[in-house]
Chain A
Amino acid sequence: MFSVNTVIHQPGSFAKEQLDESFDYKWPEGGLQYIPDWIYTSPAIYQREIKRIFHGPAWNFVALEAEIPNPGDYKRSYVGPTPVVVARDTDGSVHVFENRCAHRGAEFCRSQRGNTKEFVCPYHQWSYDLKGNLQGVPFKRGLKGEGGGMPKDFKNEEHGLLKLNVATLHGVVFASFSRELEPLDQYLGPEILKDFEVVFKDRKLKILGYYRNELPGNWKLYHENLKDPYHATLLHSFLVTFGLMVAGSKNGMIADATGRHGTLASAKPDNVAAAVGAVKSEMRSYREDFKLADGRFLEYVREFDSPWSVTMQTIWPNLIVQRELNTLGIRHIVPNGPHSQIMLWTMFGYETDDEEMTRHRLRQGNLMGPSGFLGLEDNEAIKFVQEGLRRSPSEKGVVKLGGDRVGSTNSVIDEAAIRGMYAYYRKQMGL
């Protein structure tokens, strides 16, 4: 019983969920300052997103190389909602293929992670190598005297697993069903690459562990949340009270040239009390009386050559890179119908961390994840939004902060990055 089903009404109970391709999907008047509710509720729009975005010309995150360091290592993963396997071959190369037997379609890889010499479908024992090539078909030539078996012209090489296009950058593995898209570094663009490299370039990651949760909200709401610095300074009492991100301090919302990616960046002010004091009257979640009993939790070890103490990167369409002080991780978004997404979190540090640094990261991990002081508030807020969108007869949301501006801004009281993302989205979706 997951949270999406805990809403009183089952999916399909509301008019906004019944829209099909014959509905006139016309973006409301007012350019990008309004977002129609049907992009979050319509099954037809969701299907179009899978086809044009997740299965279209986009690099989807699938794995960190640190998860599969050795030949034969593999993990189950997803491109959009589609299950795939990420495997490292004996020659060290990384391959991504559908987790679907080429014979009758069984999802053959059942373990989250492991090490193997080959993949064998449990149903009829067709076997595949680590590149996804078909190796063996039992009784391929039938039985002596009884016939059967594959036709003479059956070629193994024509019946391998469906292989995806793969690209790796600084230990992060991406895949695509499309063969026609720009190289990964160009796809990210220089604005995004810069902070991506702060986390990953020339770093050996040490995996600290995983969280998984089902978030009962449309997948785009998660991108919006991290292209929305306005909420960060209002909703989250920890950011506000302890000065981790304060309106009026040095902040940035950085977008790439297309508008699809973003980096929400913030520099912790040197004088937290002064920074918070200047704006606290606007922030209801500020708590004067909240003093930490254990202050180690929010200490910031300056380990990066970057002006930012926080960078939250949204990499279109399915990756979040989190650098919040010293807690590091990625979030892999798996869309799960219009009203739901699965979120796969991988938390990590670096191979060079000593025991105390690892413990510091683990302590600071309390900020994020499905029980994190920031993470749980985001999950609650996104759930509330999806319920409001589904269940009301009203038709659109308002994104007017900053007017018509799109893309990067220095102000946190702005929704320009959300508008920029939707300018790109509308082009991809033909809306």
Chain B
Amino acid sequence: MYPGYDMAPPDPRETRELRMEIEEFHAEYCWTLDCGDVERWPEYFTEDAVYRITARENADAGLPVGLVYADSRAMIRDRAFALKHTQMYAPRTLQHLVTNVRVLQVKGDAIKAQSNYLLLQTLVDGPTTIQQSGRYYDTFVRVGGRLLLRERQCIYDTVLIANDLVLPV
């Protein structure tokens, strides 16, 4: 549960088509990150988007800190540029898996949904590990027929991060 996303959801049969559209969004979003095209990652957000990754411990206590904290698409773009061009980290491959999509609310132009995510990471000389297990709390808006994220809260259960979280979820 996350504040603002704890409403009683509509009957899932009524939002089936929307859920499919959100699943398609996740598939494209994940592919962009998994194929290493992090500079296209900001394109999934609105100009005024809020993006935060934080531990469940913080979310449950109402603490605002983010492992990653952005309150504009420009900040997301700066992170994407840094990850692509200036940050020092070991090479790695990623797989983002997103499941259990639930449409929580459709109100005006805003759609609220939640999903579970799993981030698998493989370094050049090690086994594939679960880097992070968490849940997205998303607010989408439709811009030019396309869904964009106005808010994405990534709340992770994996309390002890394995060294660092370099690429976004």
Q: Kindly provide the distance from the CB of B42 to the nearest chain A CB, expressed in whole angstroms.
A: 9
Listed in ascending order, the chain A residues whose CB lies under 8 Å from chain B are: 1-3, 6-8, 112, 207-216, 235, 237-238, 241, 285, 287, 290, 292-294, 297, 342, 347, 358-359, 362-363, 365-366, 369-371, 373, 375-377, 379-381, 383-384
Given A290-B85, A366-B70, output 8 extra A-B contacts at Cβ < 8 Å: A209-B64, A210-B58, A212-B160, A290-B86, A292-B74, A362-B69, A366-B69, A383-B90
Listed in ascending order, the chain B residues whose CB lies under 8 Å from chain A are: 53-55, 57-58, 61, 63-72, 74-75, 77-79, 81-82, 85-90, 123, 125-127, 129-130, 159-166
Contacts of B162 in A (CB 8 A): 1-3, 6, 213-214
Check A293–B77 contact: CB distance below 8 A: yes
Check B75–A285 contact: CB distance below 8 A: no
Q: Which residue of B lies closest to A387 (CB)?
A: B125
- Roughly how many angstroms separate A342 CA and B125 CA in the complex, as a whole number? 22
Contacts of B161 in A (CB 8 A): 211-214, 370
- Roughly how many angstroms separate A238 CA and B82 CA in the complex, as a whole number? 9
Check A212–B82 contact: CB distance below 8 A: no
Contacts of B129 in A (CB 8 A): 1-3, 6
Identify 18 residue pairs between A and B in the complex whose beta-carbon atoms are under 8 Å apart, listed by A's number: A1-B162, A2-B160, A209-B55, A210-B57, A210-B58, A215-B163, A237-B86, A292-B74, A293-B75, A293-B81, A294-B75, A294-B78, A347-B65, A363-B70, A365-B66, A370-B161, A376-B89, A380-B88
7 nearest A-B pairs in the assembled complex, by CB-CB distance: A209-B65, A6-B126, A294-B74, A209-B63, A293-B74, A237-B86, A213-B161
| Residue from the list A213, A293, A377, A383 in contact with B78, Cβ < 8 A | A293
Contacts of B77 in A (CB 8 A): 293-294
Contacts of A293 in B (CB 8 A): 74-75, 77-78, 81
| Residue from the list A2, A213, A363, A383 in contact with B69, Cβ < 8 A | A363
Check B164–A8 contact: CB distance below 8 A: no
**Known contacts A6-B126, A6-B162; is A297 also within 8 Å of B75 by CB?**
yes
| Residue from the list A287, A342, A373, A380 in contact with B160, Cβ < 8 A | A342
Contacts of A359 in B (CB 8 A): 71
- Roughly how many angstroms separate A297 CA and B82 CA in the complex, as a whole number? 14
- Roughly how many angstroms separate A42 CA and B110 CA in the complex, as a whole number? 57
- Roughly how many angstroms separate A212 CA and B79 CA in the complex, as a whole number? 21
Q: Which residue of A lies closest to B159 (CB)?
A: A212
Check A380–B164 contact: CB distance below 8 A: yes
Q: Kindly provide the distance from the CB of B74 to the nearest chain A CB, expressed in whole angstroms.
A: 4
- Roughly how many angstroms separate A370 CA and B55 CA in the complex, as a whole number? 12
| Residue from the list B68, B86, B123 in contact with A241, Cβ < 8 A | B86
A contacts with B: majority SS: mixed
- Roughly how many angstroms separate A290 CA and B85 CA in the complex, as a whole number? 9
| Residue from the list B64, B127, B164 in contact with A6, Cβ < 8 A | B127
Q: Kindly provide the distance from the CB of A69 to the nearest chain B CB, expressed in whole angstroms.
A: 14
Check B81–A213 contact: CB distance below 8 A: no
Check B67–A369 contact: CB distance below 8 A: yes
Q: Kindly provide the distance from the CB of A375 to the nearest chain B CB, expressed in whole angstroms.
A: 7
Check A290–B65 contact: CB distance below 8 A: no
Contacts of A238 in B (CB 8 A): 82, 86
| Residue from the list A2, A213, A358, A366 in contact with B79, Cβ < 8 A | A366
- Roughly how many angstroms separate A238 CA and B86 CA in the complex, as a whole number? 8
Check A371–B89 contact: CB distance below 8 A: no
Contacts of B63 in A (CB 8 A): 207-210
Check B164–A213 contact: CB distance below 8 A: yes
Q: Which residue of B lies closest to A235 (CB)?
A: B88
Q: Which residue of B lies closest to A374 (CB)?
A: B87
- Roughly how many angstroms separate A380 CA and B125 CA in the complex, as a whole number? 14
| Residue from the list A213, A294, A358 in contact with B72, Cβ < 8 A | A294
Contacts of A285 in B (CB 8 A): 86, 88
Contacts of B85 in A (CB 8 A): 287, 290
- Roughly how many angstroms separate A241 CA and B86 CA in the complex, as a whole number? 10
Check B86–A363 contact: CB distance below 8 A: no
Contacts of B79 in A (CB 8 A): 366
Check A212–B126 contact: CB distance below 8 A: no
- Roughly how many angstroms separate A173 CA and B95 CA in the complex, as a whole number? 42
- Roughly how many angstroms separate A210 CA and B156 CA in the complex, as a whole number? 13
- Roughly how many angstroms separate A380 CA and B89 CA in the complex, as a whole number? 6
Check A371–B86 contact: CB distance below 8 A: no
Q: Which residue of B lies closest to A383 (CB)?
A: B163
**Known contacts A6-B126, A290-B81, A342-B160; is A211 also within 8 Å of B88 by CB?**
no
Contacts of B127 in A (CB 8 A): 1, 6
- Roughly how many angstroms separate A342 CA and B87 CA in the complex, as a whole number? 23
Contacts of A216 in B (CB 8 A): 163
- Roughly how many angstroms separate A370 CA and B65 CA in the complex, as a whole number? 13
Check B88–A381 contact: CB distance below 8 A: yes
Of the candidates A210, A371, A380, A383, the one having the most CB atoms from chain B within 10 angstroms of its own CB is A371
Contacts of B72 in A (CB 8 A): 294
- Roughly how many angstroms separate A380 CA and B167 CA in the complex, as a whole number? 13
Of the candidates B57, B61, B77, B163, the one having the most CB atoms from chain A within 10 angstroms of its own CB is B163
Check A376–B160 contact: CB distance below 8 A: no
- Roughly how many angstroms separate A252 CA and B88 CA in the complex, as a whole number? 25
Check B163–A213 contact: CB distance below 8 A: yes
Contacts of A363 in B (CB 8 A): 69-71, 75
